[in-house]
């Protein structure tokens, strides 16, 4: 990790010490790379688990879309263990994300860049950067993003270090958006339909996409027994 880049990033994080750790982490990621916004997504077993932080409404929508659709730059960067760069979502040279791209453009993103977050053997998720105009990253921006992703990974581990098993660290939870209701709804659907959790999550996402709703809203209906998902897709009131 280049010392000069790392020191510059750590110095900027220290200057924003009055803000919660997660909040200033995302803000500094966007500022250092000169992007329109940033988000940090945690992944568990190759599935999006939730957002540590986002910088604005567009970055929040980008995280929500990836969570709902199961595709996007953070998910690919985590799975591939390498940066995933899309300089023009509206006119890509490689068509990657059938559902995500158009909706992300509608939300205000034209370029998105995902950088995997890892600390040693632990692969934690990905840093997402977006810009409201098309264009590739410069060499310096790319290099800064790699260092920022490494700093973010170590920060996440640090925020979780004092928490008990199965408990989210207080600093990590502050300002984060971990969609517990989705995991609860997936568990209920898994039991009701006798299917694995992964398939239950896929059913939740399919219903959300098909009805044009957020997956968290669909999950809340399932948990509060206003909606029951079926194996056939013939979903209806619980």
The pLDDT value given to residue 142? 97
Q: What CATH number was assigned to the domain covering residues 179-223?
A: 1.10.10
Q: Under DSSP, is residue 47 helix (H, G, I), strand (E, B) or coil? A: strand
> Nearest to residue 101, comparing CAs of 114, 88, 84, 115?
88
pLDDT value at residue 16: 61
- Residue-wise pLDDT for 48-106, tens only, equals 677 888 999 999 899 888 888 889 999 999 999 999 999 999 999 888 998 899 999 99
For residue 83, what pLDDT is reported? Answer: 97
Looking from the CA of 123 toward its CB, the CA atoms found within 13 Å total 17
CA distance 182 to 216: 6
**Model pLDDT, residue 160:** 63
Candidates 69, 150, 68, 62; CA nearest to 112 is 62
Percent of the chain's residues with pLDDT above 90: 39
Distance, in Å, from the CA atom of 227 to the CA atom of 230, rounded to the nearest integer, reads: 10
Q: What is the pLDDT of residues 91-123, one digit of tens each?
A: 998 889 988 999 999 999 999 999 999 988 888
Range list for CATH 1.10.10 in the chain: 179-223
Where residue 172 falls among pLDDT bands split at 50, 70, 90? low
Q: Which CATH superfamily is domain 3-177 in?
A: GAF domain (3.30.450.40)
Q: Rounded to whole angstroms, how far apart are CA atoms 14 and 214?
A: 36
Domain ranges in the chain with CATH number 3.30.450.40:
3-177
Give the pair of three-digit tokens for residue 219.
């999950």
* pLDDT value at residue 180: 64
- pLDDT for 170 equals 55
Residue 215: the pLDDT is 76
Would you state the pLDDT for residue 182? Answer: 73
Q: Are 151 and 103 in contact (CB under 8 A)?
A: no
Question: Where does the pLDDT of residue 38 fall: very low under 50, low under 70, confident under 90, or very high at 90 and above?
Answer: very high
More confident residue, 49 or 166: 49
Encoded tokens for 3:
């010392």
Q: What is the mean pLDDT of residues 227-237?
A: 75
Question: At residue 93, what are phi and psi to the nearest 5 degrees?
Answer: -80, -25
- Between CA 218 and CA 195 the distance in angstroms is 18
Which pLDDT score is estimated for 212?
78
Q: What is the mean pLDDT of residues 197-221?
A: 80
Count Cβ atoms within 10 A of the Cβ of residue 158 and give its class: 0-12 exposed, 13-18 middle, 19 or more buried: middle
Residue 128 near residue 38 (C-beta atoms within 8 A): yes
The residue with greater pLDDT, 159 or 206, is: 206
Helical (H) or strand (E) element with 232: none
Evaluate if residue 178 carries a pLDDT over 70: no
Average pLDDT, the chain: 84
Run of H or E residues at 85:
strand 84-86
CA atoms of 185 and 32, how far apart (whole Å): 38
Do 40 and 53 form a contact (C-beta atoms < 8 A)?
yes
- Name the residue with higher pLDDT: 166 or 196: 196
Sheet holding 47-54, edge to edge: 84-86, 111-119, 122-131, 37-44, 47-54, 177-178
pLDDT of residue 173: 55
Residue 32: pLDDT over 90: yes
pLDDT reported for residue 59: 93
């Amino acid at each position: 990790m280049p010392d000069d880049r790392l020191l510059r990033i750590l110095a900027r994080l220290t200057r924003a010490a009055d803000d919660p750790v997660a909040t200033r982490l995302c803000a500094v990621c966007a500022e250092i790379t000169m992007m329109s916004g940033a988000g940090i997504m945690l992944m568990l077993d190759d599935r999006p688990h939730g957002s540590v932080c986002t910088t604005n409404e567009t970055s929040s929508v980008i995280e929500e879309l990836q969570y709902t659709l199961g595709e996007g730059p953070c998910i690919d960067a985590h799975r591939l263990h390498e940066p995933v760069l899309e300089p023009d979502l509206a006119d890509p040279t490689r068509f990657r994300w059938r559902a995500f791209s158009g909706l992300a453009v509608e939300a205000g993103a034209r370029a998105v860049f995902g950088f995997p977050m890892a600390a040693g053997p632990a692969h934690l998720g990905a840093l997402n950067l977006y810009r409201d105009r098309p264009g590739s990253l410069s060499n310096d921006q790319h290099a800064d993003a790699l260092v920022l992703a490494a700093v973010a990974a170590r920060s996440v581990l640090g925020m979780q270090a004092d928490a008990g098993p199965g408990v989210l660290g207080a600093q990590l939870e502050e300002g984060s958006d971990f969609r517990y209701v989705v995991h609860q709804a997936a568990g209920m659907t898994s039991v009701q339909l006798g299917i694995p959790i992964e398939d239950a999550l896929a059913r939740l996402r399919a219903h959300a996409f098909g009805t044009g709703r957020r997956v968290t809203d669909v999950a809340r209906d399932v948990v509060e027994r206003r909606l029951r998902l079926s194996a056939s897709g013939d979903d209806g009131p619980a």
